[in-house]
Amino acid sequence: MGSDSDWEKINGVAKALDEFNVGYEIHVMSAHRTPDKVLEYASSAKSRGLGVIIAAAGGAAHLAGVVASHTTLPVIGIPVKTDMMGGLDSLLSTVQMPGDVPVATVGTGSGGARNAGILAVQILATGDAELADALVAFKEKLVEKIAAKDAAFQERLGQ
């Protein structure tokens, strides 16, 4: 993440990865303030056994793009919500990548962070049958969860 202050806004990514017992690293580095650290981290990630990199940054949110320029691993960008434009600045900085340097971008807010974690699990599951099975079970639980909410809602309506 671009700043330690981002953690409270994006910790849902770690919670999602924990649900699937997917290990991860968390570091603070800045595309603008620590470019050498970003270069070293991104360029060594694959050889260190990482399968996906999730990069979260706000404002001039270039971290995901800079990371993507130094690795062949999939990169997921989390645009961190800011006070200035409510996250629109971060979203545009993350999603508007030039051709040939893709960054998968999730939404701002807590749903985006959680989705980044789940998307990372989905990417990793393409090569891991156990993780793929866990995703199937996860999706089945979502169906049950919504069905239970609908049943409770219908009961409140008196139907």
pLDDT digits (tens, 9 = 90+) for 3-55: 999 999 999 999 999 999 999 999 999 999 999 999 999 999 999 999 999 99
Helix, strand, or coil (residue 2): coil
First to last CA, the chain: 48
| Confidence (pTM) | 0.94
pLDDT at 110 over 90: no
- Nearest residue to 55 via CA among 33, 29, 35: 29
- % of the chain surpassing 70 pLDDT: 99
Reported as a single tens digit per residue, the pLDDT across 75-106 is 999 999 988 888 899 999 999 999 999 999 99
pLDDT at 77: 98
Q: Of 82, 41, 16, which Cα lies nearest the Cα of 55?
A: 41
Pairing relationship of beta strands 104-105 and 75-80 according to DSSP bridges: parallel
Cα–Cα distance between 35 and 71 in angstroms, integer? 14
Q: Using an 8 Å Cβ cutoff, are 12 and 114 in contact?
A: yes
Quick: pLDDT tens for 48-80: 999 999 999 999 899 999 999 999 999 999 999
159 pLDDT more than 80: no
Residue 119: the pLDDT is: 98
| Percent of the chain predicted with pLDDT > 90 | 92
Residue 146: the pLDDT is 97
Closest CA to 79 of 51, 99, 60, 52: 60
Strand-pair partners of 56: 78
pLDDT value, residue 85: 87
What tokens appear for 12 in the block?
Answer: 């849902």
Residue 114 has pLDDT above 80, yes or no: yes
In this prediction, residue 109 carries a pLDDT of 84
